[in-house]
């Protein structure tokens, strides 16, 4: 997982042949934006394949607060862990935008696994990538301050091809306050304080409610961490 993926968005990894196979076994489901596919406590006798759109997956606290674990793009599976362990899911899975899912019932999943090594490879890749993400999140939350986490998020999202006023990069993604809270894993108050601190340092500025990153300080920060390489490992 690269520095660019510190915003916890998994890349599109569609394989047309494998996707066609999965579609032949499963049920096509349309999930409109903000639709909740599964909630903590749900028993899942199926695995979902994301064909179009994107889904977000959260840990939910008893008080209703959420921490975003990752955002999936087409080509990824979800629901595999509670399915194989026969345990209730502990995540909330929601369509971030209008999305198309392929629902693979339990019996069908077992048939595909028995006959198709490509599906097994996809399943292993999904497990591995999610495990790596969780490892990163534990390390990030344990050892990095809110300031460092927010700075990394902004640096991971800059559009280096679009320089504004000779020394400012816009972000490719316009994060809402809530998204920054759930990605960084902090409170609204801390996020606002940290944003103010970064602005005072000159690292960021906000124009028309859009964050921009100082190009010079961005490059200095990359040099400090070793460049555009894996920020995790």
180, 160, 177: which is closest to 168 by C-alpha?
Answer: 160
Token pair in block for residue 42: 């749900």
Q: Is 25 exposed, middle or buried (0-12, 13-18, 19+ CB in 10 A)?
A: middle
96 and 57 Cβ atoms separated by less than 8 Å: no
The helix-helix angle for 146-156 and 188-201 (nearest 10°) equals 70
Average model confidence (pLDDT) for the chain? 89
φ, ψ for residue 44, nearest 5 deg: -110, 110
Q: Which CATH superfamily does the domain covering 3-141 fall into?
A: Jelly Rolls (2.60.120.10)
pTM value?
0.80
- Terminal CA-CA length for the chain: 8
Three-point CA angle 145, 146, 151, nearest 5°: 100
115-155: pLDDT as tens digits: 899 999 999 999 998 988 888 888 888 899 999 999 988 99
Is the pLDDT reported for residue 229 higher than 50? no
β-strand 27-31 against 99-105: which pairing, if any? antiparallel
Query: Contacts by 156-161 with C-beta closer than 8 Å and gap 24+?
Result: 156/3, 156/4, 156/5, 156/6, 156/7, 156/231, 157/7, 158/213, 158/218, 160/215
pLDDT recorded at residue 146:
94
Helices (H), the chain: 16-25, 80-85, 106-115, 117-143, 146-156, 177-184, 188-201, 215-225
The CATH number assigned to the domain with range 144-225 reads 1.10.10.10
Residues 164, 170: Cα–Cα separation, whole Å: 7
92 and 66 Cβ atoms separated by less than 8 Å: yes
Which helix (H) or strand (E) segment holds residue 170: the answer is strand 168-170
Same fold, 3-141 and 144-225: no
pLDDT recorded at residue 225:
77
Residue labelled with tokens 């087409």: 74
pLDDT recorded at residue 120:
94
Query: In the chain, where are the structural domains located?
Result: 3-141, 144-225
Three-point CA angle 171, 76, 91, nearest 5°: 85
pLDDT band at 74 (very low <50, low <70, confident <90, very high): very high
The whole-number average pLDDT for the span 213-228 is: 85
Residues 122, 112: Cα–Cα separation, whole Å: 12
């Amino acid at each position: 997982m690269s520095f660019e993926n510190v915003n916890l968005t998994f890349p599109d990894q569609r394989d047309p042949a494998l996707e066609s196979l999965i579609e032949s076994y499963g049920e096509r489901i349309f999930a409109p934006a903000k639709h909740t596919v599964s909630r903590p406590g749900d028993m899942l006798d199926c695995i979902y394949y994301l064909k179009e759109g994107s889904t977000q997956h959260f840990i939910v606290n008893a008080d209703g607060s959420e921490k975003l674990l990752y955002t999936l793009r087409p080509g990824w599976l979800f629901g595999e862990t509670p399915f194989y362990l026969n345990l209730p899911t502990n995540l909330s899975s929601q369509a971030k935008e209008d999305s198309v899912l392929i629902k693979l019932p339990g019996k069908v999943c077992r048939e595909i696994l028995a006959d198709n090594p490509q599906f097994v490879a996809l399943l292993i890749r999904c497990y591995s990538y999610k495990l790596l993400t969780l490892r990163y999140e534990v390390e990030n939350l344990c050892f990095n301050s809110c300031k460092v986490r927010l700075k990394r998020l902004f640096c991971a999202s800059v559009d280096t091809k679009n320089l504004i006023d000779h020394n400012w990069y816009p972000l490719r993604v316009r994060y809402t306050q809530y998204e920054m809270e759930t990605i960084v894993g902090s409170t609204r108050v801390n996020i606002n304080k940290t944003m103010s601190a970064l602005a005072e340092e000159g690292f960021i500025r906000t124009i028309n409610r859009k964050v921009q990153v100082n190009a010079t300080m961005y490059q200095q920060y990359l040099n400090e961490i070793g460049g555009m390489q894996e920020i995790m490992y």
